[in-house]
Amino acid sequence: MTVAAIVPAAGRGERLGLGRPKALAVVGGQTLVARAVDGLIEGGVDVVVVAAPPGDEDAVREALDHRRATVVTGADDRVGSVAAALDMLPATTEVVVVHDAARCLCPPAVVRAVVEAVRSGHRAVVPATAVADTLKRTGPGGQVTATVDRSGLAAVQTPQGFAAATLRAAHEQARVRRGAGEPVAATDDAGLAEDIGVTVVTVPGDPRAFKVTTPLDLAMAEALVTAGPA
């Protein structure tokens, strides 16, 4: 059974603000994309396809060096980048995980747990963690209109795992809906699977699978790498 990974790495990293794609930012001497790919391979993935920012394909290939990964051209948004990589997966692929390059310190154990849950028969699996902050609903002027009951809420990370046919069907529906001018609100691949009626299950996530989004996140990643394995 082939386990493949798709790594969306085609974002521009506007919030990080380095003036170059976030996937090429460096933590502890290694790019985010290289770290993400290493974690996936250590987690037992056989095939990796990385979606690179258009125009930066060669830079991503260079960052990946000798790693067993194929680089494809990404798209304007994450859904499109994942779809481009999905087209490149070998036909033998039975399990696919989609993992943000930006979650570069995700422990391989999380990858294994997600893959295992798909292998055991779940069609869509996401790592989830508890929400730490109190959540409020706010109105247009910023005033609080309600406190959201936190029980039953989870913060969801990547890698998100799918039976290959499920991920393909989910992206196909998103493509058709977009083609028809319908909005696709889902912000992750599990959301697209939910849209076609698939039940998504959770496995325990890990704080180290946090997404590098801002300069503070990059500093946190650097500190974690310097501190060594936890």
* Site membership for Mg ion, residue 21 (CB under 5 A): no
Kind of pairing between the strands at 154-156 and 124-130: antiparallel
Count of positions on this chain that bind ligand CTP (CB under 6 A):
22
Q: Which of 4, 5, 49, 75 binds ligand CTP (CB under 6 A)?
A: 75
Could you tell me the CA-to-CA distances from 10 to 64, 123, 135, 161, 203 in Å, in that order?
14, 26, 30, 20, 27
Count of positions on this chain that bind Mg ion (CB under 5 A):
1
* Site membership for Mg ion, residue 11 (CB under 5 A): yes
3 state SS of 136: strand
How far is 140 from 177, CA to CA, in rounded Å? 30
CB-based closest residue to Mg ion:
11
- 32-42 vs 108-119: helix axis angle to the nearest 10? 50
Q: Which of 74, 127, 159, 161 binds ligand CTP (CB under 6 A)?
A: 74
Amino acid identity for residue 38 in this structure: D
CA 155 to mean position of chain CA atoms? 13
Considering the complex, state which of residue 138 and residue 187 has its C-beta at the smaller distance from Mg ion: 187
Contact of 10 with 59, CB cutoff 8 Å: no
* Site membership for ligand CTP, residue 9 (CB under 6 A): yes
Considering the complex, state which of residue 59 and residue 122 has its C-beta at the smaller distance from ligand CTP: 59
Which residues between 46 and 65 bind ligand CTP (CB under 6 A)?
51
* Site membership for ligand CTP, residue 13 (CB under 6 A): yes
Q: Which does 74 bind (CB under 5 to 8 A by kind): ligand CTP, Mg ion, none?
A: ligand CTP
Least distance to ligand CTP from the beta carbon of 68, Å?
19
In sequence order, what DSSP letters do the residues of 16-72 get, joined into one string? TTSSS-GGG-EETTEEHHHHHHHHHHHTT-SEEEEEEPTT-HHHHHHHHTTSS-EEE
Q: Which does 105 bind (CB under 5 to 8 A by kind): ligand CTP, Mg ion, none?
A: none
Binding site for ligand CTP (CB under 6 A): 8-15, 22-23, 51, 74-78, 81, 100-102, 211, 213
